[in-house]
Structure 1
Amino acid sequence: MTAGPGGKAVITGIGVVAPGALGREAFWELLAAGRTATRAITCFDATGFRSRIAAEADFDPIAAGLTHRQARRMDRAAQFAVVSAREAVADSGLDLPATDPGRVAVALGSAVGCTTGLEREYQVLSDGGRDWLVDHSYGVPHLYGYMVPSSLAAEVARDAGAEGPVTLVSTGCTSGLDAVGHGAQLIEEGSADIVLAGATDAPLSPITSACFDAIRATSAHNDDPGHASRPFDAERDGFVLGEGAAVLVLERAGAARARGARIYAELAGFAGRSNAFHMTGLKADGREMAEAITQALRRARLDATAVDYVNAHGSGTRQNDRHETAAFKRSLGAHAYAVPVSSIKSMIGHSLGAIGSLELAACALALREQVVPPTANLRHRDAECDLDYVPLTAREHRMDTVLSVGSGFGGFQSAAVLTRAGT
């Protein structure tokens, strides 16, 4: 990603739906306070599951501004996305109705699409799984939309009146990073003037939980859900599933400055790699993530020593945390030991495809506040994870450049570099 006819993309609006925090400012308040939003699952009966904890969003679609018809039509993930996009647009100060709709684009990521709606409708059509041959007449009229993940991006575009390129990116747990990277590319190549970029996922359902139970990827600290998500901690035993969405308004830097917009950050560089190795396995040396980091910094025209904070993928699995630590050392060299690193999954869980956009929102707000959010629950450091992971408490820290990384099933590795406006 290099600057083209449209110039670099900047973030001028942020919208968030997250566990424990609805809205951008509540989200930042939770992170800065180091509060955890993980708890026992309430959205379905988790009795009998290995992992019975999650980070749930206390979200009421009607209270959040959707109509009853919209709430009935949209899957929960779509609801998150539309509400987040509305907040982001309002935050940006843009008057979208007065904007050429053909120059407004949407780039949305999701790992598991409309899982909640699909599972609910299967339960109805199959009479709780009793019938192998289902009667389609019992399904809601919008069932086809649940089966097509692109419906999520289409809902955001319809609500915003966006008639430019509309894309759904699904690259597992890097979807949120990759969608924002794609949105920035649309700006830089001149294909759009404004992009609503981000991701959404609402995976808290029996089928998703069963899948992660089967590979023992999620935490079984059911007796202490508030401390179950423990990235980089020696006593961690997997991630805590979460849900949520974040949407960022991206604009051309010159246009944003010309209209006097408040700029959170510039998306200075983005890169992605694949390990072409294993669906869930990671190579111990972290080479592919390191290459993504190095390429993102190169595209930002920055040296590794320019990085002031790293927002880690930090899922809380032993394999990921050690792989990621190796990648930081490989890409940043000796500077890896000097730069603060943290994982917000310790507080809001792992919302699969959505988490990358939530982490970018956190990075933009960290640049605004000049505060590094902590890694909550990090009390017993793993000897193989020997970097500065900012345990327990947020830290005031001078930042001009932040790095956010993601790692996803399928071997996906992504890195994005944000710089403070004017740097």
Structure 2
Amino acid sequence: MTGIGVVAPGGIGTKPYWELLTAGRTATRAISFFDASQFRSRVAAECDFDPAAAGLTQRQIRQWDRTTQFAVVAAREAFGDSGVLDGADPERTGVMLGSACGMTQSLDREYAVVSDEGRAWLVDEAHALPYLYDYFLPSSMAVEIAWLAGAEGPVGIVSTGCTSGIDVVAHATDLIADGSADVMIAGASDAAISPITVACFDAIKATTPRNDEPDTASRPFDRSRNGFALGEGAAVFVLEEVERARRRGAHVYAEIAGHASRCNAYSMTGLRSDGLEMADAISTALDRARVAPQDVGYVNAHGSATKQNDRHETVAYKRSLGDHAYRVPVSSIKSMIGHSLGAICSLEVAASALTIEHSVIPPTANLHERDPECDLDYVPVTAREHPVDVVLSVASGFGGFQSAIVLTKPGRLA
């Protein structure tokens, strides 16, 4: 990983993002994008994003959904950080992006227009923007970045719900490993804070109703947790074959050493109490990375702040890491930036790489009273200085998806 670009709640750019995480600040607040008074959960982590200030033209702002705007701005930062495009072979350069919800805000808005605010059963397409087709295809986001980068290699989209941000990095890594590309631009973006999304999570009571305390609403592993806070954002990486990076003298944040994904084939939204599938994904990722459980120096948790998830992954860590589960620091950054669905795992991969880079473990904010069933070292409230050579990052998603990825300090396996 030679480049990182971030658009996140509380910070546009990698540096402000990392400063927010290590300070333990929260970016959750009352929803401001629309009138949320009719909803059960009215809390979210919104990005303070000005597309014009971020360098987008008026045509791009009008044409692109917020999801694409996030992805492009993050990709531009990653390109600049890496310097990879100077001399890169277009046919050996690819783009893979992840998203759970695609162009939700634009689709929500345009449906309201063509249906006359939902009053017309037969919609009138004459009132739709000419870009509506692109909004139906999340792959249009990857195409925009491919054009921006001049990438003529593999280009596509990965959409596996809330594990998309890990799965897309894993897929891009595999494309490099099997010789399909030398350089991959990979990451995920979601901007789904919209009435339809809020209504969907309201219906299953997955999001927090702690509307009177928005800044502390997301409380992973805390006894008082009662659901996640919706978020938005993007993180994009430049990944390249390690010898190529060394030859050009690139700065390497971390190496993607191993990954795995499983499905519980059990429930669309439910989790088995034994944590078996997540544990198996973790063990397989560690095996592929040639890393022993006791070598893991930090676990970047899924930590959604739902009661079933936090207990489920606690059990999975004990099953996969053994006694080391009680010694390794674990934290959830969703406590600070909310749950941005498909994008969050790429934001967590960015945090994992920066943990290796800076030897600082971001905290779990708002963790004051630990759930007795979540009895591991969840790094409460305050960041911890701690050298880390190996980070395990995990994700759990609707549909039963369980994914794990292992990042290592550059040169650890050399």
The alignment status of 1:282 with 2:271, answered yes or no, reads: yes
- CA distances 1:86-105 after superposition (whole Å, capped 9, x unpaired): 10010002234x32211111
Cα distance in structure 2, aligned partners of 1:39 and 1:160: 35
Instruction: Within 5 Å, give how 1:302-313 maps onto structure 2.
Output: 302-313=291-302
- 1:161 is aligned to 150
- 1:69 is aligned to 59
- 1:243 is aligned to 232
- Residue identity matched to 1:110: S
3-state DSSP of counterpart to 1:406: strand
Instruction: Within 5 Å, give how 1:343-362 maps onto structure 2.
Output: 343-362=332-351
3-state DSSP of counterpart to 1:222: coil
Paired positions, count: 412
- CA distances 1:211-249 after superposition (whole Å, capped 9, x unpaired): 000000000000000000000000000000000000010
Structure 2 length as normaliser, TM-score?
0.99
Is the 8 Å Cα contact of residues 278 and 402 (structure 2) preserved in structure 1?
Answer: yes
- 2:189 is aligned to 200
Q: Residue 117 of structure 1 is aligned with which of 106, 114, 136? A: 106
Cα distance in structure 2, aligned partners of 1:162 and 1:72: 24
User: Which range moves more in the overlay, 126-135 or 360-369?
Assistant: 126-135
Cα distance in structure 1, aligned partners of 2:218 and 2:194: 19
Segments of 4+ moved more than 3 angstroms: none
Q: Residue 366 of structure 1 is aligned with which of 340, 352, 355? A: 355
- CA distances 1:239-270 after superposition (whole Å, capped 9, x unpaired): 00000000010000000011000000000001
3-state DSSP of counterpart to 2:230: coil
Cα distance in structure 1, aligned partners of 2:325 and 2:84: 39
> What are the ranges of 5 or more consecutive residues in structure 1 without an aligned counterpart?
1-10
Instruction: Within 5 Å, give how 1:325-404 maps onto structure 2.
Output: 325-404=314-393
- CA distances 1:322-353 after superposition (whole Å, capped 9, x unpaired): 00000000000000000000000000000000
- CA distances 1:341-391 after superposition (whole Å, capped 9, x unpaired): 000000000000000100000000110100000000000100000000000
- Residue identity matched to 1:77: T
Q: Residue 418 of structure 1 is aligned with which of 387, 407, 412? A: 407
- 2:46 is aligned to 56
3-state DSSP of counterpart to 1:15: strand
- 2:5 is aligned to 15
- Residue identity matched to 1:383: P
Percent of aligned pairs sharing the same letter: 67
- 2:24 is aligned to 34
Cα distance in structure 1, aligned partners of 2:156 and 2:122: 34
- CA distances 1:2-26 after superposition (whole Å, capped 9, x unpaired): xxxxxxxxx0000000001100000
3-state DSSP of counterpart to 2:2: strand
3-state DSSP of counterpart to 1:144: helix
Instruction: Within 5 Å, give how 1:305-324 maps onto structure 2.
Output: 305-324=294-313
The alignment status of 1:44 with 2:47, answered yes or no, reads: no
Cα distance in structure 2, aligned partners of 1:34 and 1:302: 29
Is the 8 Å Cα contact of residues 228 and 339 (structure 2) preserved in structure 1?
Answer: yes
Structure 1 length as normaliser, TM-score?
0.97
